[in-house]
Amino acid sequence: MSGAYESMWKDLGLNLTAHDALLQVLGNAYQDIFITQKDRPAGMDYFNFVMSEVHGLRVKELLDGKKEGRKVVGSFCVFVPEEVVRAANATLVGLCTGADFATDEVDKILPRNTCSLIKSAFGFKLGKVCPYIESADMIVGENTCDGKKKSYEVLNTLMPNVYVMDLPQTKSPEGRALLKEEYKRFKDAIENLCGVKIDVSMLKQGIEIVNAKRRAIHRLSELRKADPAPISGLDALLINQVYFYDDPVRFTDSVNKICDELEQRINDKKGVFPQGTTRIVLSGCPMAVPNWKLPWIIETSGAVIVGEESCVGERGTRNLTDDSANTVDGLMDAIVDRYFQVDCAIFTPNPDRLDHTKQMYGQYNAQGVIHYGLQFCQPYQIESYGVENALEAAQIPTLRVDTDYSMEDAEQLKTRVQAFLERIQ
Ligand code: BJ8
């Protein structure tokens, strides 16, 4: 890929040497973790292709779109309402936050006890290796956890185009009112950026595009309830990760296509793991590309992941936006209602997340839950204590794992996961 896109990356201001090294590591990891899996559905070829072109063709598409006036908006959180961005014919992309990069540089700016996800965003910017950050006309930060909230102040000094959205911390009427005000302010900012006034039909179209993506993911989730599992958790996670930056219509078609194949597999009783393989629900912090460590450890230890209670998973996609209103204000209300259901651990209290985890455990016929907390992530790590206790009290075997993006603890994690699987087997 390097040769074909070199001038594009150069024009974006990337550090070509560092970028080449990143692509090399990414390519090797992908080969070792994904391509070596057995009996993958043929439909994964599309996602292999997307990954092989992750910094190439997709970035070129975005840049071509920009020449035609289509703005690019970067985001770090599922609270950024994609419907509003699509309504203005702009493109929303999730920004790379799943790997350590330029850690020495990052450590000069952020405290060492900052979660890997936040450090990663800074590392990609400081190391000049993310074509998405460099292509974005606007980067949306959100006041979710304290780490993100304060780090956007710093990010603002590194990038000229950071827009910060405030977010409520409680699911109260006042919290909803705040979210509504913030989404209105965001809509104004997007209208300004794109030079358009969003009307009812534009907003309906935005909702339709994003709902279609979510429906395709719902279909995939439904199929993962089968035993034997027709697709690995790693591949399903990858699809959920690609959700954040692929062209939405093409993505929806590709997910539906793979679902057709998985339906056939289920009819034929064909799976990627033998029938009766231990089934795990993953719960916790989001896993952005290329954060595949824990799922890889779980699925090479004799279990299959059948669902993700995560923002890169059901927390991010399970709710649709009602498109029945016929005014912009009515549709914006529906968008607020939809996002207000997201049960991120920044909310206090946050009982819905626990209920949903229990529900997933039952619906996916799982035998255990593995809670994934990123080190120094206060919301999820602190919440995990209550989640583990409540799940265990409900006879749901639970393993609490706190880790980061390095591979240093991989062996130790594998031992813990294996011991947990032995316990539940
Ligand atoms: S809606 S989970 S995407 S905020 S891991 S940066 S919480 S210290 S990512 Fe998130 Fe939106 Fe919530 Fe989802 Fe902070 Fe924790 Fe780091 Fe985190």
Provide the token pair at 330.
């009515």
Residue type, 128: K
Task: Give the per-residue pLDDT at 227.
Answer: 98
Ligand 1 binding pocket mutation candidate from 167, 344, 383 (most atoms within 8 A of CB):
344
The continuous run of DSSP H or E covering 370 comes out as strand 368-374
With CA atoms as reference, report the closest residue to 84 among 168, 177, 182.
182
Place of tokens 């912090």: 285
Per-residue exposure over 355-387, b if at least 16 CB sit within 10 Å of its own CB, e if not:
ebbbebbeebebbbbbbbbbbbbebbbebbeeb
Ligand 1: centre distance to CA 42 (Å)? 33
Q: What is the DSSP letter of 320?
A: P
Q: How far apart are CA 350 and CA 362, in angstroms?
A: 20
Residue 425 is predicted with a pLDDT of 87
Q: What is the pLDDT of residue 1?
A: 54
Ligand 1 centroid to Cα of residue 302, in Å, is 29
pLDDT of residue 2: 58
CA of 286 to the centre of ligand 1 (A): 7
CA angle centred on 263, ends 257 and 266, rounded to 5°? 145
Question: In this structure, which residue's CA is closest to atom 14 in ligand 1?
Answer: 145
Residue 285 Cβ < 6 Å to ligand 1:
yes
Q: For atom 13 of ligand 1, which residue has the closest CA?
A: 311
Please give the structure tokens belonging to residue 185: 């302010």
Residue 383 tokens read as 């919440």
Cα 323 to ligand 1 centroid, rounded to whole Å: 28
335 vs 187: CA distance, rounded Å: 11
Burial 108-147 (b: 16+ CB within 10 A, else e): eebeeebbbbbbbbbbbbbbbbbbbbbbbebbbbbbbbeb
Cis bond upstream, residue 290 (ω within 30): yes
Q: Which ligand 1 atom is the nearest neighbour of the CA of 381?
A: 15
- Report the candidate in 329, 302, 311, 321 with the shortest Cα–Cα distance to residue 422: 302
Question: Dihedral through CA 23, CA 6, CA 152, CA 157, nearest 10?
Answer: 140
Q: What is the pLDDT of residue 96?
A: 81
- What six digits make up the tokens of 299? 């699925």
Residues with Cβ within 8 Å of residue 387, at least 6 apart in sequence: 283, 353, 354, 357, 371, 398
Is 78 near ligand 1, meaning CB less than 6 Å away?
yes
CA distances from 313 to 66, 238, 309, 342 (A): 29, 10, 6, 12
Q: Are strands 162-165 and 138-142 parallel, antiparallel or unpaired?
A: parallel
Q: What are phi and psi of 217, to 5 degrees?
A: -65, -35
- The Cα 210–Cα 78 span in angstroms is 12
Contacts by residues 17-26 (CB-CB < 8 Å, ≥ 24 positions apart): 18/101, 18/102, 18/127, 18/128, 18/129, 19/55, 19/128, 19/129, 22/99, 22/101, 22/127, 22/129, 23/55, 25/99, 26/54, 26/99, 26/290
**Residue from 264, 326, 291, 234 nearest 120 by CA:** 291
What whole-number distance in Å separates Cα of residue 247 and Cα of residue 183?
A: 23
| Residues near 185 by beta carbon (within 8 Å), at least 6 away in sequence | 165
Which helix (H) or strand (E) segment holds residue 241: the answer is helix 233-242
**pLDDT tens digit at each of 425 positions of the chain:** 557 899 999 999 999 999 999 999 999 999 999 999 999 999 999 999 999 999 999 999 999 999 999 999 999 999 999 999 999 999 999 998 999 999 999 999 999 999 999 999 999 999 999 999 999 999 999 999 999 999 999 999 999 999 999 999 999 999 999 999 999 999 999 999 999 999 999 999 999 999 999 999 999 999 999 999 999 999 999 999 999 999 999 999 999 999 999 999 999 999 999 999 999 999 999 999 999 999 999 999 999 999 999 999 999 999 999 999 999 999 999 999 999 999 999 999 999 999 999 999 999 999 999 999 999 999 999 999 999 999 999 999 999 999 999 999 999 999 999 999 999 98
278 close to 365: Cβ distance less than 8 angstroms = no
Which of 27, 22, 50 lies closest to 126 in space, CA to CA? 22
Give CA 118 to chain center in angstroms.
14
With left for phi above 0 and alpha for psi between -120 and 50, is residue 37 left, alpha or beta? beta
- Distance CA(314)–CA(144), nearest Å, equals 19
Atom of ligand 1 nearest to the CA of 346: 12
Ligand 1 center from residue 369 Cα (angstroms) = 20
Rounded to whole angstroms, the Cα distance separating 249 from 265 reads: 25
